[in-house]
Amino acid sequence: MTGRLFGLGVGPGDPELITLKADRILRACPVVAYPAPDTGPSFARTIAEAYLTPDKTEYPIVVPMRIERFPARDIYDAAARDLSRTLENGQDVAVLCEGDPFFYGSFMYLYERLAGRFHCEIVPGVSSVMAGAAALGRPLAARNDVLTVIPGPLPDTQISERLAASDAIAIIKIGRHFARIKALLECEGLIDNAGYLERISLAQERILPLEAAVGSAPYFSMILIYKGAENWVASLPVDGSPVAADITEPAQ
Amino acid sequence: MTGRLFGLGVGPGDPELITLKADRILRACPVVAYPAPDTGPSFARTIAEAYLTPDKTEYPIVVPMRIERFPARDIYDAAARDLSRTLENGQDVAVLCEGDPFFYGSFMYLYERLAGRFHCEIVPGVSSVMAGAAALGRPLAARNDVLTVIPGPLPDTQISERLAASDAIAIIKIGRHFARIKALLECEGLIDNAGYLERISLAQERILPLEAAVGSAPYFSMILIYKGAENWVASLPVDGSPVAADITEPAQ
């Protein structure tokens, strides 16, 4: 009997936003893997820290966080090799994924290497996009609204096209693209419809009108835009500029 | 001291996909409200049934499920009136929401009536879109993919425009629009990129290539389209036609 591989969504940050299913599986798995930067703590591990009892074997998948791209292929090849040995030995492996495993998650790199050979199960999680709307206190999409999720690294022209075709928009993976995207939204006349959010659902959560956000933004930040609601952001508190970036972005 | 209003995301259907936070709040709230059709069980109540111990006061918000539109305003006005009395009496109220409360949910109709007067908190939930990708075993969005969520009731021309501008697309609220949307995707050359899903995460879950889905579809069904992956649906089992529709759509 080989072990099973679980991709567990652990939600946007608040450890209480883990599902009962992920909770049950995480308790039962003897081996727990998670993405980790080369310096500093793993965000996924931090979310699930309470579960990481001393009897668990931890397996950090270290992916350097940096601006320059570099081939992460070797890292996932090595991780898949190590974890397939564990699975062949009959041990179940839980892989912790921030948010949802299949929503812009790095879990897919392991999944594509292991899913054909082992029993794999994905446990969906609460996405930061839904948690962002909850934190804002503003419905993300209603009735027949079109909702689009746009990665911030895309070029301006592509972002503009998608902005035009949607009612509600989440721009994710902001990080070092913050100033460019803010300028673009100003240009498109959408700055009064845009809220800036960082560290959603954590104690350090910060939410403010995009207009009031200055400086740089961490990788785990987001801009939510509601086109139909002119100047709704006036209701948000203006509490200063975002903290300095501490993560740029994971290599791909 | 007035009571607090909680909008609780209870996830896509599997009761284990409720978060620890929703679980804790639901246990503690003496009053539990949920949307319910005029005939048959409430889906949100079914998901959370295990929590509905005899000591809870249940408050179904009955919204007729029918094709013809009618003003649901009176229903939400009356529900807000009743629940505000409960909140004024100091009792906390949990409102159960399928999936996520602010992702196309009817909770917003109560929220807009009560949020200004009472302490309100939204607990985000696992969306059916993320659960759908998990059930398919296929990442929803990767790297710099643009993901768009399109409501099925939109006219063909609007759906076509959005299809053109995205990499991954979830078409939700299929119901009586099934045949039209299937024909549209055939026309757009996307039928081999489209999977059909219904009752995601439940025992009756059914997943098949859209091509193989015939007949009608329930309201809680979805089409997932991955444009970059020609004919990926060939890997899905073809296990017959969807069951007859049992819900059309809630009135708005």
Percent of chain B with pLDDT over 70: 88
Q: Does residue B37 or residue A127 have the better pLDDT? A: A127
Interface test with B, best of A95, A129, A159 (most B CBs within 10 A): A129
- In chain B, what residues touch A155 (CB-CB under 8 Å)? none
Percent of chain A with pLDDT over 90: 71
Q: Which residues contact B121 (CB under 8 A, 6 or more apart)?
A: B4, B5, B6, B7
In which band, very low, low, confident or very high, does the pLDDT at A231 lie, cut at 50, 70 and 90?
low
Helix, strand, or coil here: A28?
helix
- pLDDT tens per residue, range B48-98: 999 999 999 999 999 887 655 566 888 999 999 999 999 999 999 999 999
In which band, very low, low, confident or very high, does the pLDDT at A247 lie, cut at 50, 70 and 90?
very low
- pLDDT tens per residue, range A128-156: 999 999 999 888 898 899 999 999 999 99
Q: Point out the residue among A124, A137, A201 whose CB comes nearest to the CB of B17.
A: A124
CB distance A211 to A191 below 8 Å = yes
In which band, very low, low, confident or very high, does the pLDDT at A63 lie, cut at 50, 70 and 90?
confident
The superfamily (CATH) of domain A4-123 is Tetrapyrrole methylase, N-terminal domain (3.40.1010.10)
* B251 near A CB under 8 A: no
Q: Where are the domains of chain A?
A: 4-123, 128-235
**Lookup result for tokens 């839904």:** A130
CA distances from B109 to A38, A65, A66, B75, B104 (A): 46, 42, 44, 10, 11
**C-alpha span between A24 and A92 (Å, rounded):** 13
**Residue of chain A minimizing CA distance to B21:** A16
In which band, very low, low, confident or very high, does the pLDDT at B128 lie, cut at 50, 70 and 90?
very high
* A109/chain B closest Cα distance in angstroms: 10
pLDDT at B251 over 90: no
Percent of chain B with pLDDT over 90: 71
> So what's the architecture of A128-235 in CATH?
2-Layer Sandwich (3.30)
**Residue of chain B minimizing CA distance to A147:** B149
**C-alpha span between A245 and A101 (Å, rounded):** 24
Interface test with B, best of A112, A122, A138, A207 (most B CBs within 10 A): A122
- pLDDT tens per residue, range B179-230: 999 999 999 999 999 999 999 999 889 999 999 988 888 888 999 999 876 6
**C-alpha span between A65 and A87 (Å, rounded):** 28
Q: Model pTM?
A: 0.92
Q: Does residue A247 or residue B148 have the better pLDDT? A: B148
B-facing residues of A in 18-77 (CB < 8 A) are 18-21, 23-24
* B134 near A CB under 8 A: yes
Q: Point out the residue among A104, A124, A134 whose CB comes nearest to the CB of B122.
A: A134
* B147 near A CB under 8 A: yes
CA distances from B203 to A211, B170, B224 (A): 47, 22, 20
pLDDT at B12 over 50: yes
Helix, strand, or coil here: B77?
helix
Same fold? B4-123, B128-235: no
Which range (A184-198, A206-220, B44-58, B233-247) has the least confidence? B233-247
**Residue of chain B minimizing CA distance to A163:** B165
- Residue B85 pLDDT: 98
- In chain B, what residues touch A146 (CB-CB under 8 Å)? 148-151, 154, 158, 162
pLDDT at A242 over 60: no
What order do you get walking across the sheet with B206-209 strand by strand?
A: A206-209, A194-198, A221-226, A168-172, A147-151, B147-151, B168-172, B221-226, B194-198, B206-209
Identify the bridge partners of residue B207 per DSSP, sorted by sequence position.
Answer: B197
Strand-strand pairing, B119-123 and B194-198: unpaired
Name the residue type at position B13. Answer: G
Burial of A45 (0-12, 13-18, 19+ CB in 10 A): buried
- Residue A214 pLDDT: 86
To the nearest 10°, report the CA torsion of B64, B68, B73, B77: -10
- In chain B, what residues touch A120 (CB-CB under 8 Å)? 137
* A156 near B CB under 8 A: no
Q: Point out the residue among A126, A144, A165 whose CB comes nearest to the CB of B124.
A: A126
B12/A17 Cβ within 8 A:
no
**Residue of chain B minimizing CA distance to A25:** B16
**Residue of chain A minimizing CA distance to B148:** A148
A-facing residues of B in 200-239 (CB < 8 A) are 201
- Residue A228 pLDDT: 78
| Average pLDDT for chain A | 89
- Residue A120 pLDDT: 95
B102/A139 Cβ within 8 A:
yes
| Average pLDDT for chain B | 89
**How many pairs of residues across A and B have Cβ atoms under 8 Å apart?**
179
CB distance B215 to B246 below 8 Å = no
Q: Which residues contact A195 (CB under 8 A, 6 or more apart)?
A: A136, A138, A207, A208, A209, A210, A223, A224, A225, A233, A236
B104/A130 Cβ within 8 A:
no
CB distance A120 to A97 below 8 Å = no
Neighbours of B232 (CB within 10 A): 16
- Residue B232 pLDDT: 66
Helix, strand, or coil here: B244?
coil
In which band, very low, low, confident or very high, does the pLDDT at A76 lie, cut at 50, 70 and 90?
very high
What tokens does A128 get? 């930061």
Average pLDDT value for residue range A81-101: 98
pLDDT at A92 over 90: yes
- Residue A142 pLDDT: 87
pLDDT at A200 over 80: yes
A141/B103 Cβ within 8 A:
yes
Residues in chain A, overall count: 252
In which band, very low, low, confident or very high, does the pLDDT at B252 lie, cut at 50, 70 and 90?
very low
Q: Point out the residue among B14, B102, B108 whose CB comes nearest to the CB of A130.
A: B102
- pLDDT tens per residue, range A150-173: 999 999 999 999 998 899 999 999
Identify the bridge partners of residue A231 per DSSP, sorted by sequence position.
Answer: none
* A109 near B CB under 8 A: no
Q: Point out the residue among B7, B131, B158 whose CB comes nearest to the CB of A124.
A: B131
Name the DSSP letter for residue B155.
-
A104/B145 Cβ within 8 A:
yes
* A106 near B CB under 8 A: no
